[in-house]
Amino acid sequence: MQDLPPGLDLLWGERDRPRRERRGGLTVERIVGAAVELADADGLEGVSMARVAKQLGFTPMALYRHVSGKDELLILMQNAAVGPPPPLDESVVGWRAGLERWSTDLLAVMNAHPWWLDIPISPPAPTPNQMLWLERGLQALSDTRLPEGDKAAIVLMLNGVVNWEARLTSELSRGSEAPDDALRVYVRVAYSLVGDERFPALGRAVEAGIFEDDSREFDFTFTLERVLDGVERLIERTR
């Protein structure tokens, strides 16, 4: 691999890591770890080279000997936060169980580090851990007869479903009101529209009790199952 941007060249071994600082043992790993801690506590806006340096007890100039700037730091943080996918246990058998676990594992990572969704890099940088997640998703489909392009499209589609769920959860939690209060407002408005001739379908849905179970986990499970139903139909057509 050649001409990789800063951060990726370091992660993929195309650039030598700086030698450890004598005082306090400053390393790229320590810098990234401190940045992730700040982001977990205060969001991505709470991360700056100066704040990371202060947290570690160094000057900002000392950090620049290891990391070229915030853009590179964000790539390194992205790789560290997502981490490698956890290994599958023996109970996970078949493509469907594999993709279900892949999706729920990835959602857990994103919910643990909601700032990850705010990183201004699109598409996500191809870091080693990102590529390991892609590999595990593709491996779940390896025993099917789907074309390789279809396998990749399915994994990317599931990544989009997970991203949307994580973003929705994050946005609800950021509101000035508590997430539960924000949801109550939404439900109250929906109930007020029952009988309004502009919203006949919505009225029927509300009267049928669609808001009686407001579990976010249930919503994601339902969505994921319906997506995988579609994948199952696609796989059946290749047999």
Residues 102 and 216 in one domain: yes
Inform me whether the pLDDT recorded for 182 exceeds 70.
no
- Give me the pLDDT at residue 29, please: 93
Of 82, 105, 120, the last residue of a domain is 82
Does 15 map to a domain? yes
Does 54 map to a domain? yes
Inform me whether the pLDDT recorded for 238 exceeds 90.
no
Residues 130 and 224 in one domain: yes
Residues 152 and 232 in one domain: yes
Residues 78 and 109 in one domain: no
What is the domain range of residue 117? 95-174+209-236
| Average pLDDT of span 41-53 | 94
Domains in the chain, number = 2
Cα–Cα distance for residue pair 19/198, rounded to 1 Å: 67
Cα–Cα distance for residue pair 36/115, rounded to 1 Å: 9
Q: Which CATH number goes with the domain that contains 225?
A: 1.10.357.10
Cα–Cα distance for residue pair 210/207, rounded to 1 Å: 8
Does 195 map to a domain? no
| Average pLDDT of span 158-173 | 87
Model's pTM, two decimal places?
A: 0.85
- Give me the pLDDT at residue 176, please: 46
Ramachandran region, residue 7 (left: φ > 0; alpha: ψ -120 to 50; beta: rest):
left
Phi, psi of 41 (to 5 degrees): -85, -40
Does 99 map to a domain? yes
- Give me the pLDDT at residue 214, please: 54
* Cα four-point dihedral sign 192, 194, 195, 196: positive
| Average pLDDT of span 220-232 | 94
Cα–Cα distance for residue pair 102/117, rounded to 1 Å: 18
User: Is-contact 79 130, C-beta < 8 A?
Assistant: yes
Residues 59 and 132 in one domain: no
Residues 216 and 141 in one domain: yes
Inform me whether the pLDDT recorded for 217 exceeds 80.
no
